[in-house]
Amino acid sequence: MADEPSTAGIGKHGADRLPSVDIDSYNIELRDDEGFVGDRASKGAFHAIVENWRKPLRKAGDDPFGNKSSEELSKSELDEILAGDDAEATAVVLGAVEEFAQELAHVTRRFLKTKAWKGTEAIVVGGGFRLSRIGEIAIARAGLILKADGEKVVLVPIRHHPDEAGLIGCLHLGPSWIFEAYDTILAVDIGGTNIRCGVVESRQDKAPDLSKARVWKSQLWRHADDEPTRGNAVKKLAKMLKELIKQAEDETFKLAPFIGVSCPGVINVDGSIEKGAQNLPGNWESSKFNLPAALVEAIPEIGGHDTTVLMHNDGVVQGLSEVPFMQTFKRWGVLTIGTGLGNARFTMRKIKAKEKGKDEREKEKA
């Protein structure tokens, strides 16, 4: 509509071509006889595996985890058990990690068999599960299983903290020229439990490829605890962003009039969400709702310039944070282990020579 606020004057929402990569696919929903394939490698799937390992012990009255439910066992608790002295409890965790690794390898094979993922050379594994020792071991074990099966693909944990990767990845939504005039952007990462937003420093003066980018400051709101309406959620998000704008200006950052948004679901070119946003507060898939337009209406200007908002799928954006570190691969993907299994496959628009990339990695180690 002609009177609707401009939301993407320097790009398209949910674009399949970005400055650094082409997005071959994202949010694929593969099915088998048991339902969605990705659900076999989700956070809930791991808890279910732990529960199955505990059942025979519980029947014998010998459960080393006591009365605590498997869902309540945190990653840090499981990590402590893994390194602890209780051999039986450690054995349960190791058994669950091995079984989950087998499932992750199976799910990965299914993706690799799709047309969109053909020729994938490397897969970055992100999401909160990666941020634990059990997660790291499961990812490494899945990689070994695939290698033993003859799959020519490398599995690596995402480099940035998963909570920050979804913010840092927003830098790669905007055109490169934006960083010639500005040193920071606003970024938003929306999830089924939390909404996180932050000020992201490009640090392009230190690394033109954005490999040194970092989150300067962020705010987290656990909306699942408050159960807000969709309208109140947008108001709260806008308030958080306005506070960050003030803090960035006080710090004399050159904040771009740009907001990058990472959001679950299939993102249409007009900024609406086609499907996949069922875990967000209220109906975000309504034809009457447009988050980018709502943010431009709430924050029409940043630093005296018209605000631009660009939104993409959360799995895509988390993967984009790895762009500087995947330069020796032509085709690579991302899997994010969380409530579900986020996924995206990328093709680099430019690729460095293998040997050059190897030399740079050696310099990093030195």
The pLDDT tens digits of the residues spanning 73-90 come to: 899 999 999 999 989 899
Number of domains the chain contains? 2
What is the rounded average pLDDT of the residues 130-142?
Answer: 94
How high is the pLDDT of residue 67? 86
> Where in the sequence is the domain holding 301, given as residue range(s)?
161-320
The pLDDT tens digits of the residues spanning 87-119 come to: 989 999 999 999 999 999 999 999 999 999 999
Instruction: Tell whether 196 and 223 lie within a shared domain.
Output: yes
CATH classification of the domain holding 145: 3.30.420
pTM of the model: 0.89
Mean pLDDT score of the chain, rounded to an integer? 91
- Among residues 109, 127, 157, the one where a domain terminates is 157
How high is the pLDDT of residue 128? 87
The pLDDT tens digits of the residues spanning 310-363 come to: 999 999 999 999 999 999 999 999 999 988 889 999 999 987 665 444 444 445
- Among residues 128, 157, 186, the one where a domain terminates is 157
How high is the pLDDT of residue 3? 45
Instruction: Tell whether 147 and 173 lie within a shared domain.
Output: no
Instruction: Tell whether 244 and 190 lie within a shared domain.
Output: yes
How high is the pLDDT of residue 364? 54
The answer, yes or no, to whether residue 218 has pLDDT greater than 80, is yes
Q: Is residue 105 part of a domain?
A: yes
How high is the pLDDT of residue 1? 39
The answer, yes or no, to whether residue 139 has pLDDT greater than 80, is yes
Q: Is residue 15 part of a domain?
A: no
Q: Is residue 70 part of a domain?
A: yes
How many whole angstroms from its chain centre is CA 173?
14
Q: Per mean pLDDT, which range of 204-208, 213-217, 316-320 is the poorest?
A: 204-208
How high is the pLDDT of residue 11? 83
- Among residues 126, 157, 188, the one where a domain terminates is 157
The answer, yes or no, to whether residue 5 has pLDDT greater than 70, is no
The answer, yes or no, to whether residue 215 has pLDDT greater than 90, is yes
The pLDDT tens digits of the residues spanning 229-282 come to: 999 999 999 999 999 999 999 999 999 999 999 999 999 999 999 998 888 999
Instruction: Tell whether 204 and 90 lie within a shared domain.
Output: no
